[in-house]
Structure 1
Amino acid sequence: MSNYQNKLGIKAWAEADKPREKLLLQGRRQLTDAELVAILIGSGNKNETAVDLSKRILNSYDNNLDSLARLSIKELSKFKGIGEAKAISIVAALELGRRRKELEAAKSNKVITSIDAYHILKPLLSDLHHEEFWVLLLNRANVVMGKHFLSKGGVSGTVVDPKIVFKTALEYNAASVILAHNHPSGSLKPSTADMQITKKLIEAGQLLEISVIDHLILGNKEYLSFRDERLM
């Protein structure tokens, strides 16, 4: 039975397991690296699905996208099921990612004002049709140590678990955090739930000596800072 299941094509998968459908239903950030690569290559071969082929390629390079990005078209084409056209698609996509990373690295990761945090968060929370909640982890010098996705909701809200927020902060030994979520409607007005979760997280942070220094709401092209508006 297991051998038969391994050879099932993408068309026979459950709807939620198909990479393209999963991207449409759940958003691009919910896909694994292998699923994203599978979308690029489109199809596998008679013995494996596009996702299985992608996993095999990634496993050959310790699942390291930087290593994969350094491969030439000729090197990628050595994998059975990867022709020149598929190799070109992978190389082009990873090159775009590399160029984007260079632009991000050129920007300062130190947060001095709310607009510094906004510039870091905007690429993560812009152009979404649902709400997502993220947290920025900062060290004592206010340099960003990490950006972490916490939860996803619908068009009108998302639920955040304080335990997850501070578990993440403690794992990275963060000195402070900046909370952030988006409003797909474009409205920047905090909801009652926004106010309540902010207060709850501030109080929890005080017990753990991890400061919640701001909470940003991102709209279409603007943002609101709880700190700037004296809402915290």
Structure 2
Amino acid sequence: MHEKTASLSIKNWADDDRPREKLLSKGRLALSDAELIAILIGSGSKKESAVELSKRILALVDNSLNDLGRLSVKQLTQFKGIGEAKAITIAAALEIGRRRRDEESKRITKIVSSLDAFELLQPLIGELEHEEFWILYLNNSNKVVYKGQLSKGGITGTLVDVRLVMKQALELGAVALILAHNHPSNSLKPSKADKELTVKLKRASGILDIKVLDHLIITHKAYFSFADEGVL
């Protein structure tokens, strides 16, 4: 039997099960993640609808759109019912979402909370498969005057050039710093090296009357703030 006759086309669904019609009548916020993905893939199979297929896929990535967005086209096609065309559509849609978030993060210029710093840095390092250490340099109004990568590939005191950090801070006229690095393992627990490096940079900046306001550990969907947790 050809795929067109075997698949459960959206046109054949009951009215209450049609995500396209639901979006038009109730708005996009009324749709679940599975329903939105079902619109992308268009049809399921003879045994399951597109919504059921989408629910199954999401369940296998712990219902995380971030985790789904990190999968390659080849990995997506490993899901039963997802061919290359559907995989490409899913990958493209989630990449658009990631770029939209990246674009919105660039509008953040003033840091008033750890969440602001997370929203600014997560699109840059939250989904990387290796560690990177970044610093936000702030002026006396807590506005970001510069953000930059300090090291890549693992965080230890030997990889972070404290002199370079201080030199850049003085050249930029920065009065405060926010430290940040990602954990590809998704663990939010600071390591001994994380703590030692924080103390090292805090001591060095203190001599120059520059404050270390926070150190964030960032994963693809969450963060740990040294300041918020009272361990700075």
TM-score by length of 1: 0.54
Distance 1:102 1:224 in 2: 23
Give, in angstroms, the shift of residue 103 of structure 1.
3.5
Distance 2:178 2:101 in 1: 23
Change (3 A) 1:220 1:108: closer
Match of 1:18 in 2: none
Is 1:149 the counterpart of 2:149? The answer is: yes
% identity of equivalent residues: 52
Paired residues of 2:118 and 2:216 also in contact (CA < 8 A): yes
Give, in angstroms, the shift of residue 102 of structure 1.
5.7
Give, in angstroms, the shift of residue 108 of structure 1.
3.3
Match of 2:228 in 1: 228
Distance 2:103 2:203 in 1: 37
Aligned partner of 1:198: which letter?
A: T
Aligned partner of 1:201: which letter?
A: L
SS of the residue 1:146 aligns to:
strand
Q: Give per-residue Cα distances to partners, 1:141-163, cap 9 Å, x unaligned.
A: 00111111111014xx3521211
Distance 2:184 2:126 in 1: 9
Distance 1:100 1:115 in 2: 14
Paired residues of 2:108 and 2:120 also in contact (CA < 8 A): no
Give, in angstroms, the shift of residue 101 of structure 1.
7.8
SS of the residue 1:227 aligns to:
coil
RMSD of aligned Cα (Å): 2.0
Q: Give per-residue Cα distances to partners, 1:166-189, cap 9 Å, x unaligned.
A: 111111110101000001100010
- Gaps of at least 5 residues in structure 2 are 1-95
Change (3 A) 1:119 1:102: closer
Is 1:188 the counterpart of 2:200? The answer is: no
TM-score by length of 2: 0.54
Q: How many residues align?
A: 133
Structure 1 runs of 4+ off > 3 angstroms? 98-105
Distance 2:199 2:179 in 1: 12
Say which one has the larger Rg: 2
Distance 2:210 2:200 in 1: 13
- Gaps of at least 5 residues in structure 1 are 1-95
Match of 1:113 in 2: 113
Is 1:201 the counterpart of 2:201? The answer is: yes
